[in-house]
Structure 1
């Protein structure tokens, strides 16, 4: 039975509508954050949807939801596809969700075709891909790749609760998360992830499919500005050591640094550690990030930002210290897997182009386990991580079609 694009599109569109009802009613947009009750309910729904498509379903020790379609040679390294169904606060209905429901639909079409794969096909809804209150993204894929650490489990949210405690409350054993024997998926032949672009390129050019070349590296920082407390009504402005003014200048410096390709820079939080309205701010924290697919740009931007912020802060009589963390390194798509996606899109008659990803994905961590490729479909106006996030159903259907046929090609390909 050939792939029925119309039927697949209709089914995924209906399922996106069903899943979108499982959200935090009291929060803006479509909010379904990791470890929350709506997220727990949504994953029960996803498990049922996997079973309806003919998959054997289990939750692994890392908290990932895994559906398996057996191949004719289950001893061979398996294929894997999937994404995530958690959201940022006030997020949309498509980010990650298209990759999970699209993977389920692609797998259904393979099962119903009557021509099984030789390899097992694993469909994964990865636990907690989005950034969260513990400051660590891609929890499930990071753990599957053996990259979660004991220090990560001791990360604390604003209330002082540890990430390990959050796992435990969600019904997962924190000690198992650090045991590769319990979290590793076994040998993999390849990984392919379908995702919305989250940017404007495909829609602007009228291109139907994006084939991801690389995924950006992310460097995050917290800058701590230390000034001097004074009475806000009596200390003359010219005689102040105002940490907030230095922080404000830093926000503009971050924006300036991010205005030039090939990278972007964003300030995400500014926090005054004093709550008094009549005190000159003496302790202000500024959080932000740099993103690029160019390592030399990231290195240079990190250096330039530190030098410029320090120089400007000293002019205000304020000291500043930076804490830097690398969220993930730049990851290239596997050349042969990339070629398979591109060739498949072309053979199916869809227009395509190479695109880099400015967002991170579970694919970053799976790339350490198997040859990795990603398929992008257009985002309306390039909007994402907001309630206005939207991808047209026919675009999703084309992405699912490319995914299904890529998995077939990957099944027999030498990588």
Structure 2
């Protein structure tokens, strides 16, 4: 049991979040700092310096991750123990907020400082990572850096092209990374003693229940689809309604089908259409082509599999009824991943010891943690999101809640460090 009080510095945490939030794309709404952008690259210099100032040995790996290492007593003595890793990401979605991912990176750095201030020396090496590009990019790939470390960044990912016409591989080259080296950046499977990530909940469960800490039970699987509909262009004024092959109405019907599937999902299953386009895009022309992008999320892998089949069938039948041809492509972003029960127990026990209320909660959002499970037992700590809002400018978590999360993270790291083994 940890006897020493490990206390984060609330003012330092608040100031660091405010400083990092200053690196934004002024041409975009909210707190926008998308991967590969100039503000993102500039912000990472701030993160690296913050790690260095906390006493971490800082490197930039081949996957574009910023990696801070706090050597443990075992490695200093020439002994080998599996390492512990924590961290998150600092990129945002367009129009995003100031806390998503950022709390996990700056909170981990503050946890290191709090441990040092308390005189707590870990036996194992501790790694703090700012993973490259957790949010989905223009190529449709999320968690680029954590995929690289986990060994699941694939050559076909590098070949994917975005709206600019450039491939992801070429984009990595343009920002100074070697795509082939990123493919060979993997840590050995099972090489981590434990991975633990602090994050805002991004949903309303903790705030609604009044609990201060969320012990994450599972991270949702994500399946993304792109549907393309091909109809026929005709004059919008002269073509009768029953003679049209309208690609956009077929796509609109698909949007409602996707919504119905989400509404019928089990607990923590959702379906969202995030984007729709039509061509030629004129008021006076019946659309000849339409595309939509959507996703399914759930911690229930069986429901995800069934939903994919149902959507493909229903969307196809409706398109056929309208005389519109269609094509559906699926991309599995990640499978549903449970957290390690042993780590859940350590988080819950740490919260109890510190006097913080906690509740088990699932994560509907994707996280780098879902990929770190390839390297060892994985767990996550959530802190509340005000109003359940996230991926928007209004995203907010009070400093007091963040400090509680960092306190639990530091305690959990200390407890995991002492454990001989952690069951996956």
TM-score grouping bracket, smaller chain normalisation? over 0.9
Q: Which position in structure 1 is the counterpart of 2:376?
A: 370
CA–CA distance in structure 2, aligned partners of residues 358 and 189 of structure 1: 25
Change in CA separation of 1:397 and 1:185 when aligned onto 2, cut-off 3 Å? farther
Alpha-carbon deviations, 1:324-345, whole Å to 9, x = none?
1100001010111111111111
TM-score, L = length of structure 1: 0.97
Question: Which residue pairs with 2:131 in the alignment?
Answer: 126
Residue equivalent to 1:237: 241
Deviation at 1:4, TM superposition (A): 5.4
Query: Structure 1 pair 264/186, CA: closer, same or farther in 2 (3 Å)?
Result: closer
> Which of 64-73 and 294-303 deviates more?
294-303
- Match of residue 253, structure 2, among 215, 240, 249: 249
Q: Structure 1's 47 and 94: CA in aligned 2 closer, same or farther, altered over 3 A?
A: same
Structure 2 residue 282 is the aligned partner of structure 1 residue 266? no
Deviation at 1:203, TM superposition (A): 0.4
Structure 1 residue runs without a partner (length 5+): none
Deviation at 1:77, TM superposition (A): 1.0
Q: Tell me the CA shift for residue 302 of structure 1.
A: 1.3
**Is residue 189–residue 375 contact of structure 2 (8 Å, CA) maintained in 1?**
no
Q: Equivalent residue for 1:82?
A: 87
The answer to whether the 8 A contact 2:6-2:410 is kept is no
For the residues of structure 2 that align with 1:8 and 1:322, how far apart are their CA atoms?
50
Check the 8 A contact 2:298/2:364 in 1, yes or no. Answer: yes
Contact preservation (8 Å) 2:6, 2:118? no
What is the CA RMSD across the aligned residues, in angstroms? 1.5
> Which residue pairs with 1:327 in the alignment?
333
Corresponding residue of 2:59 = 58
Query: Match for residue 353 of structure 1?
Result: 359
Q: Give, in angstroms, the shift of residue 236 of structure 1.
A: 0.7
Do residues 407 (structure 1) and 413 (structure 2) align?
Answer: yes
Q: Secondary structure at the match of 1:252?
A: helix
Q: What TM-score do you get using the length of structure 2 for normalisation?
A: 0.95
After superposing on structure 2, the runs of 4+ consecutive aligned residues of structure 1 that deviate more than 4 Å are 183-186
Kindly indicate whether residue 167 of structure 2 is the aligned counterpart of residue 166 of structure 1: no
Shift of 1:232: 1.5
Checking the alignment, whether the CA contact within 8 Å between 1:105 and 1:400 is kept in structure 2 is: yes
Determine the C-alpha separation between the residues in 1 that align with 2:5 and 2:259. 46
**1:379 match:** 385
Structure-2 separation of matches of 1:378 and 1:2: 26
Query: Displacement of 1:115 after TM fit?
Result: 2.8
CA distance in 1, matches of 2:189, 2:296: 31
How far does the alpha carbon of each residue in 1:114-156 deviate from its partner, in whole angstroms, 9 at most, with x for none? 2310001000000000011111000000010010111111111
Measured against aligned partners, the alpha-carbon deviations of 1:72-122 in whole angstroms (never above 9, x if no partner) come to 012211110000000001000000000001000101111222231000100
Alignment of 1:6-405 (within 5 A): 8-74=9-75, 75-180=80-185, 187-260=191-264, 261-262=266-267, 263-405=269-411
Q: C-alpha distance in 1, partners of 2:164/2:347?
A: 45
Alpha-carbon separation, structure 2, partners of 1:214 and 1:406: 18
Classify the secondary structure of the residue corresponding to 1:22.
Answer: coil
Whole-angstrom CA distance in 1 between matches of 2:321 and 2:102: 48
Give distance in 1, aligned partners of 2:182 and 2:134: 16
8 Å CA contact 2:258, 2:311 repeated in 1? yes
Post-superposition offset of 1:184: 5.9
Q: Check whether the contact 1:144–1:185 (CA below 8 A) recurs between aligned residues.
A: no
Secondary structure in structure 1 of the residue aligned to 2:73:
coil
Alignment partners' CA distance in 1, 2:6 and 2:128:
20
Between the aligned partners of 2:87 and 2:184, the Cα distance in structure 1 is 23
Distance 1:357 1:196, change over 3 A: same
Matched residue of 2:9: which SS? helix
* 1:3 and 1:109 in contact (8 A); partners too: no
In 2: Cα distance, 1:65 partner to 1:294 partner:
33
Task: Output the CA distance in 2 between the equivalents of 1:40 and 1:286.
Answer: 31
Q: Shift of residue 391 of structure 1?
A: 0.2
Q: CA deviation at 1:186?
A: 8.8
Superposed CA offset, 1:390-410 (max 9, x none): 001110000000000000000
Do the aligned partners of 2:87 and 2:131 also contact (CA within 8 Å) in 1? yes
- 2:142 and 2:30 map into 1 onto residues whose CA distance is 20
Aligned equivalents of 1:317, 1:29: Cα separation in 2: 42
C-alpha distance in 1 between matches for 2:248 and 2:119 = 65
List runs of 5+ in structure 2 lacking aligned partners.
none
Counterpart-to-counterpart distance in 1, 2:86 and 2:161: 31
